[in-house]
Amino acid sequence: MGTPQEREAHVIIKLPMQTRRWLIVLWFCFLARLSFYAMALPLWEGYDEWPHFVVIRLMALHHQALVAREAPILRDVKASLELAPVPWELRNYTFPSITQDQFWMLPAKERAARENAFRTMPNSWSREDAPGGLQAYEALQPPLYYWLMAPAMYLMRDCSMSLQVLVLRWLSVLIASLTVPLAFGIGKEIFRDARTALGCSALVAVMPGLALDVARVGNDCVSVVLFSAAIWWGLKKTADHKHWALYFGVIVGCGLLAKAYFLTLVLAIALFFKRRSIPILLVSVLVGGWWYLRNLLTNGTLSGLSEAVELRQVGPITMLKQAMTISWPRAIDTILLSHFYFGGWSSLTVRSWIYHVFYLIAFLAFLGTIQLLRRKEIEWLGIVYGTFWLGQFYNVVLLFVRKGLPGSMGWYMYAVVGAEVSLCAIGLFRILPRWLHRGILPFGTLLFGLLDLYTMNIVAIPYYTGMIRHRANGAIAALHFSEFKAIGFHETFTRLATFKPMSGDVLIVLWSVYLLATAAIIAAELTICLSAAAASAERKFVDRA
């Protein structure tokens, strides 16, 4: 991409010492932030966390390389769902459980009795099937993440469930942290400037939606990293690296074994690279194609998604007719809302005007980006991002036909966060006046940083500790100082440590580090991107485009 001379100059990036130091600072701060997220989230608060956990358990302790989607859950997991508070989205499940809202309204003695019963469950329950019909439904997912986590689970086979969950979350965070240097690599290939690329990394590092998505037991941590790696590798030149297609195919093949939405990347590669995509796709099929062949043979669908399996007898004409009845503006709004911030499985949200600020910025960036699609690098990012949206629209149709829900999971969009941030920066550089260019990335980082601090400290922690609850319409009540005062600072973190193998004091320390890390990322972004050199690079980019 670009001229041969440009490609040759940027194939191998030798980062200056100062750039390496800044990148390490951002990477470390991202890890610190996500570590607090992993510790602060209540048990099973992550999206579909308990079924992901069960699949890992069955692989590690029952020695199952592939777990059947009809496999029953384990006895201790079922007991935990009955004893610990469950996320809001599980309020209508058939097992006897209570939500976070209900848990903190119980008398203190009953809460303590529940936690004591949880901590004293026999270890043998981790190997016993639970009665009641609940299934490990995330076994429908490709197996790569579970294979990676199974050895750690085996080593922890005699540890408590709460410790197992936290360690798996930490390991997921370590994997997900690779997103920061990969976002830098994507930005470096696009802007040819390390300072602007660092700005893109800083923005990624303070996104609360990304933190919530990957700081849990779940396969998105692997998927985000592999998708980012594929986007970055697709920006590298093709002519001078004889193994370029082989490496690309291996990355995509591993991605296919991590998440079904990598099928959209297969389409993007075919559209962009055309005949050059053949060796890439052949390798990716050799690595990950067997999983999808297995899906076709066992459940008659390519993706293996629950909705796709349930609707496999519905013809394309019927699906198309149903798609035409969907309120697509509402569906897109749902995707964007749950992308910018959707607080875990308890569906925490913020005021609508906050989302609309982000919508406006995204719309301006889109207008600017479409003017630059003639550049090959931008075209590649645009095709990857566009085909991923097509995948989201397909999921909207599935969910609407099956459940009547006009929307999809916006947190899936973090798979393409590396492309998204660079595209937004490109579009805003193009459409906004030059005198604003120096502040675009710092402003974005500050905006997401403030969103993160607000949602964690004014929404999530108060909700997880019983200060605020869902209203009848599902919205979260506003926090008042009197509610915080009634509980107190130390008791807040003591409550946050409930059903976890730690004290409230440990969480206070981690919370302090989280605050410092978030502030440090914002300060680093201001220092990096407001420099004259960064502004000069941005001007050159816009002129060249």
Domain membership flag for residue 159 = no
- Collect all residues with Cβ–Cβ distance below 8 Å to 321 and sequence separation of at least 6: none
Q: In terms of DSSP H, where are the helices of 455-488?
A: 461-464, 481-487
CA-nearest of 532, 504, 1 to 236 is 1
Place of tokens 């370590």: 174
Taking only the tens of pLDDT, the chain with its 545 residues reads: 444 334 433 433 456 778 889 999 999 999 999 999 999 999 999 999 999 999 999 999 988 999 988 889 999 999 999 999 999 988 887 667 899 999 999 999 999 999 999 999 998 998 888 887 788 889 899 999 999 999 999 999 999 999 999 999 999 999 999 999 999 999 999 988 888 999 999 999 999 999 999 999 999 999 999 999 999 999 986 545 678 899 999 999 999 999 999 999 999 999 999 998 999 999 999 999 999 999 999 888 888 888 888 888 887 888 888 889 999 999 999 999 999 999 989 999 999 999 999 999 999 999 998 888 778 889 999 999 999 999 999 999 999 988 888 889 999 999 999 999 999 999 999 898 888 888 899 999 999 999 999 999 999 999 999 999 988 877 888 888 888 888 999 999 999 999 999 999 999 999 999 999 999 999 999 888 766 455 555 555 555 55
pTM of the model: 0.92
Cα–Cα distance for residue pair 80/117, rounded to 1 Å = 9
Domain membership flag for residue 152 = no
> What residues make up the domain containing 412?
4-41+174-544
Cα–Cα distance for residue pair 350/203, rounded to 1 Å = 20
CA-nearest of 217, 276, 225, 215 to 251 is 225
Strand partners, 470: 476
Domain membership flag for residue 379 = yes
Contact 97, 90 (CB under 8 A): yes
Q: Residue 57 corresponds to which amino acid?
A: R
First to last CA, the chain: 13
Is residue 99 classed as helix, strand or coil in its secondary structure?
Answer: strand
Cα–Cα distance for residue pair 136/232, rounded to 1 Å = 34
Angle at 340 between CA 345 and CA 326, to 5 degrees: 80
Phi/psi of residue 348, nearest 5 degrees: -75, 140
Domain membership flag for residue 396 = yes
Helix, strand and coil in the chain, % to nearest 5? 70, 0, 25
Domain membership flag for residue 525 = yes
How many folded domains does the chain comprise?
1
Domain membership flag for residue 288 = yes
Domain membership flag for residue 56 = no
Contact 422, 186 (CB under 8 A): yes
Domain membership flag for residue 144 = no
The token duo for 452 is 């993160």
